[in-house]
Amino acid sequence: MARPLPEGLIAGNDGRARCWWGSSPQIYQAYHDAEWGRPVLDDHRLFEKICLEGFQSGLSWLTILRKREHFRSAFAGFDFTRVARFTPARVEKLLGDAGIIRHRGKIESTINNARHAIEMAREFGSLAAYFWQYEPDPRRRPKRVTRSALAAMNTSAESIALSKDLRRRGWTYVGPTTVYAFMQAMGLVNDHLDGCNAREEAERARRELVRPAPRF
């Protein structure tokens, strides 16, 4: 008889143990296995994720994930140098696009944030160099990541500091909870549960990562 899995883990049809949220539907499973928690240095992907976290506010991530390809098409692949040039007429067109979340404030926030992203990329050399400054010291992270531990960790000192600095720089829809979800997804922290098959894979990628240094 198979031993029960620890709290928060679910065995998939393929026998792999996954975090409770990453077993179904298939689009979520693929996101859990191959993306979430893997370190990202690509500026367009970083910009995409922090914007989509803002769009998610009040919704489920599954809703956003199902619309992600359409979001990418609508927002020029989240190339912030292009998004920054979106006009009021483009905003009105996006408000009529059923393939995305038609929320004026969030659309305008994405354009606003693109303009500030350009400034930050110039200042730091890349968005990656800016964001990875806020990677938490692993010695201050929980020794074991469990579902109950995660339930109490929807922010961190680093996500609060990052949120504060982004807002100081003019970004919007970047509260501490939104920013912490961004950090989890982009691999600045590894919040796959202990025992999840993806945890060690994500941790290996983090160990091998060459962190970008800010250009000052």
Which one of the listed residues 20, 35, 61, 203 is annotated catalytic? 61
Q: Is 61 a catalytic residue?
A: yes
Which one of the listed residues 20, 31, 108, 203 is annotated catalytic? 31
Q: Is 180 a catalytic residue?
A: no
Burial class (CB in 10 A: 0-12, 13-18, 19+), 20: middle
Which one of the listed residues 28, 48, 53, 158 is annotated catalytic? 53
Sequence-separated (6 or more) residues with CB below 8 Å from residue 95? 102, 104, 107
Distances (CA, A) of 200 to 58, 124, 190, 191: 31, 30, 9, 11
Catalytic residues, by residue number, are 31, 53, 61
